[in-house]
Amino acid sequence: MTAELPVVRLTPKANVRAIRRGFPWIYANEMVLDRRTKALAPGTVAVLEDSARMPVGLVGVTPASKIAARMLDRDVKTGIDRDWLTARLVRALALRERLYPTPYYRLVHAEADGLPGVIIDRFGDTAVIQPNAAWAEMLLTPLAEALAEVTGVRNILKNAGSRGRQLEGLDDTNAVLLGQAPDAPLPVEMNGATYMADLTGGQKTGLFYDQRPNHAFAARLAGGQAVLDVFSHVGGFALAALAGGAASALAVDGSAPALALAEEGAQRMGAGARFSTRQGDAFDMLTDLGDEGARFGLVICDPPAFAPSKPALDAGLRAYERVARLSAPLVEEGGYLVLCSCSHAADLSSFTGACLRGIGRAGRRAQLLHIGFAGPDHPLLPQLAESGYLKALVFRL
């Protein structure tokens, strides 16, 4: 196998020790990008050697990307083929089937499941693949075939809307890889709530599974409370709170289609009479609610990534502080505030600091009750801090 593959090489300054210990990315400034390497087609599988020409592993190469290569396998004699893909999917499926009684979960969480750059979310007999790395795009057909074989899903969709694909130089064209796309949003049951997942027109793959345990924790605080869910998408925390016995839930989001799906979910749960929505800019809505003197027993803010990269970190932290400052006055005395971040660049300490600054600037004092992370279908690769992106802080004010 190795004799047939091109060879790429680390520079003497590359952190080869970290790579051998499991760090899955090779940055462009760590790899010898000579004319031969630059000429490789994006997604080419190659043998990675250190500067002494000792083999390190097999990588998928994208010469023009900041992440110039992604580690696929330590064994340079293995074949990156359908059998290899099948083995990775079998291992991923075994974990999810142990964790969840129904087939609604993230099946593959990229590097943490040994398939770097690949996201696969499962919705019963339909799966959505995000091939966010060039090597996976090149092997998309055998990946879909292996996925159908391992899971038995009948429909496989390709979602090409990720920012990561742009960084890899990939297209933004969605496709149906097997079967057919659903002609309507699919109902998904989680934590006693019903969510409507739009697999073809919604955000990401159609639903965010990562907040499942945080939805459940917040729902424990929701009984008898008026609940406000800001950046609600399709009703994430609001519908879980209604399932937990909330007296009412108000969902705020900028997307009218997402709120329509949230309303449909509430109706299917039999909770439509306790559910309402406001569509508009979240910061404007928070300001308006404050001006109206609105108060809630439980307020949740789950915004998009304000700090998706290190250059955006300072501005992102200011945005998180602003969310906390505007939302804290809406919480009743003794009530609860849940603040979330899905930013890779904002670690737990810096995000917590921003939230506490905002709460303090609002004139409130807080107890930190709970720190939540993504569910276990989004496993963490310990060597890659970015795989632990989600943080949820639960305060009592």
Distance, CA of 135 to CA of 44 (rounded, Å): 6
What are the tokens at 114? 């040994």
> Where do we find the tokens 């937990």?
244
Handedness of CA 361, 371, 320, 190 (dihedral sign): negative
Tell me 185's DSSP state. Answer: P
Residue 156: which of 172, 138, 142, 171 has the closest Cα?
142
CA angle in degrees (0–180, nearest 5) for 203-208-210: 145
Query: Hey, how many other C-beta atoms are within 10 angstroms of the C-beta on 270?
Result: 10
Distance, CA of 254 to CA of 281 (rounded, Å): 5
Catalytic residue among 301, 340, 342, 355: 342
Query: Hey, how many other C-beta atoms are within 10 angstroms of the C-beta on 35?
Result: 6
| Pairing status of strand 155-158 against strand 126-131 | parallel
What are the tokens at 193? 């709530």
The end-to-end CA distance of the chain, in Å, is: 61
Q: Please say if 355 is a catalytic residue.
A: no
Backbone angles phi, psi at 143, to 5 degrees: -65, -45
Distance, CA of 196 to CA of 74 (rounded, Å): 40
Sheet with strand 126-131: strands edge to edge = 104-109, 118-123, 126-131, 155-158, 175-178
> In a 3-state reduction of DSSP, which class is residue 7?
strand
Query: Hey, how many other C-beta atoms are within 10 angstroms of the C-beta on 166?
Result: 13
Residues 234, 262 contacting (CB under 8 angstroms): yes
> Where do we find the tokens 């097999």?
58
The helix/strand count (H/E) of the chain reads as 12, 19
Distance, CA of 269 to CA of 217 (rounded, Å): 19
Return all residues near 101 (Cβ < 8 A) that are at least 6 apart: none
**Which residues are the active-site residues?**
342
